[in-house]
Each structure stands twice: as C-alpha cells, then as structure tokens.
Amino acid sequence: MARPASARSTKLTAEERQLQRKAEQLRRQEQELEHQLRMLPAKMEARRTRDRELARIRAHTASPAISLNGARGPRAGRPGGKPRPLPARERHNAQIKFFVLCLILAIIVILLWRQIPQ
C-alpha cells in the first residue's frame, strides 16, 4: 500500500529542512575559511618579520664583531660602563658582613691549626 501524500510531504519537508541546515552550516564554514585565507598572508608576513628580527638580535649578541677585532656589543641591552654605586647604608652593611665572615674564617683556621698534632 502507498503512503498518504501528507506523510510523504512531511518527510520531504523534514529532509529539505535538514538539507537547508547543512547548506547554511557549509556556507558559514566557507565564510570562515575564506576569512582565514584572507588573513593568512598578513599573519605569515608578521611571523617572518618577527623571525628575521629575532635572528638579527641573536646574531648580534652571539657572535663577535669582525670589524672590531672580536669585540662584542652590549649584552642583553644593558649599557656598559660603571656599575651603580651602592647607597651608604648597604655599603656599610656589606662591610660589616665581610668583616664578620673574615673573623669566622680566622677562628675556624685557628681551631684547625690547634688540632694538628706536632
């Protein structure tokens, strides 16, 4: 027996809706891929530029300068020259710490010297 016409039309409309949804999904996916394809050259150029810059920096800091008879440029962007002087309080604390450590070392050496049999 044949199905009623309304059952066939309902089935067709359900299939049509499903196909329309899939077509819409494919259209969205196509638009997203086209957008990515348009943006890809700019991203690749930015990556190449960044890689060239990093390679230039690595080459500058890692190899000696031939024209300067092996002298190297400043490392890690830190300018050369005199180190920053310590403030008076820190300098004083460092001197005290140094003298205390020298005193402890002298005591250890004297105690070891006494323990050596003659």
Q: How far apart are CA 77 and CA 30, in angstroms?
A: 47
What's the confidence (pLDDT) of residue 114?
Answer: 92
At residue 89, φ and ψ (nearest 5 deg) are: -65, -45
pLDDT in tens, 47-105: 999 999 998 888 877 765 555 555 555 555 555 677 788 889 999 999 999 999 999 99
Q: How far apart are CA 80 and CA 71, in angstroms?
A: 13
pLDDT in tens, 2-57: 556 666 778 778 888 999 999 999 999 999 999 988 999 988 999 999 999 998 88
Specify the DSSP class assigned to residue 82.
P
Q: Is 16 helix (H, G, I), strand (E, B) or coil?
A: helix
What's the confidence (pLDDT) of residue 105?
Answer: 98
- What are the boundaries of each domain within the chain? 5-64+89-115
Q: How far apart are CA 111 and CA 105, in angstroms?
A: 10
What's the confidence (pLDDT) of residue 29?
Answer: 95
